[in-house]
Amino acid sequence: MRRHTRRVYNLCYRFTGNSTVAEDLTQEVLLRVYRTIGSYQSQYGAFATWLTSVTRNLLVDHHRRTRHDRMTDSIDDVLPVVEDKPSQVRAPDRQAEAAELSAQLQRGLARLSPELREAVILRDLQGLDYREIQTVLRVPEGTVKSRINRGRIELAGILKQMGVRPA
């Protein structure tokens, strides 16, 4: 499970935009996996795909539980904060630039509908192939491709409005 923890955390973070909530959700996912590992059947797909499905289901539950809270939050409370993450590889200016780009991407993703956001995250940030995404989302492959395409187009427009230009 240790090798999958980072993947689960990244998925949770991209959906919530909050590192503390993502850590809590990651722990919930790992507990759920521990309790339900007996239901995993390899003939239905890879373990990573099953794990992503479990994570997605928990994220959907979390989204539903916190809907009222999000509606009453101020915009300043829900925007992600640029985190200070020390890196021994990057120079401080490059680190700050990467953190700012990550925060802008997170804000852009937050403006997408949940359906488009999850398709883009699973494909472009988690690297799942179309069939794995189809399994996770339980929708036809054509729907997966359509959501990814529409999500990318909308995200590009949002980032452009935010002043983010491709490198």
CATH of the domain at 149: 1.10.10.10
Give 11's contacts (C-beta < 8 A, 6+ positions apart).
52, 55, 56, 59, 121, 122, 125, 126
Give the per-residue pLDDT at 16: 86
Give the per-residue pLDDT at 95: 72
Give the per-residue pLDDT at 74: 45
Taking the alpha carbons of 58, 64, 65, 66 in that order, is the dihedral positive or negative?
Answer: positive
Based on the fold, state whether residues 48 and 99 are members of the same structural domain: no
Give the chain's domain count.
Answer: 2
Token pair recorded at residue 54 = 């479990």
Give the per-residue pLDDT at 142: 94
Q: What is the mean pLDDT of each run of 10 residues along the chain (167 residues)?
A: 83 88 92 86 82 88 73 47 52 74 86 92 89 90 94 92 78
Rounded CA gap, 113 and 123, in Å? Answer: 16
Identify the domain boundary among 75, 100, 121: 75
Query: Does residue 140 lie in a domain region?
Result: yes
**Burial call 6-28: b when 16+ CB within 10 Å, e when fewer:** ebbbbbbbbbbbbeeebeebbeb
DSSP string, 19-33: HHHHHHHHHHHHHHH
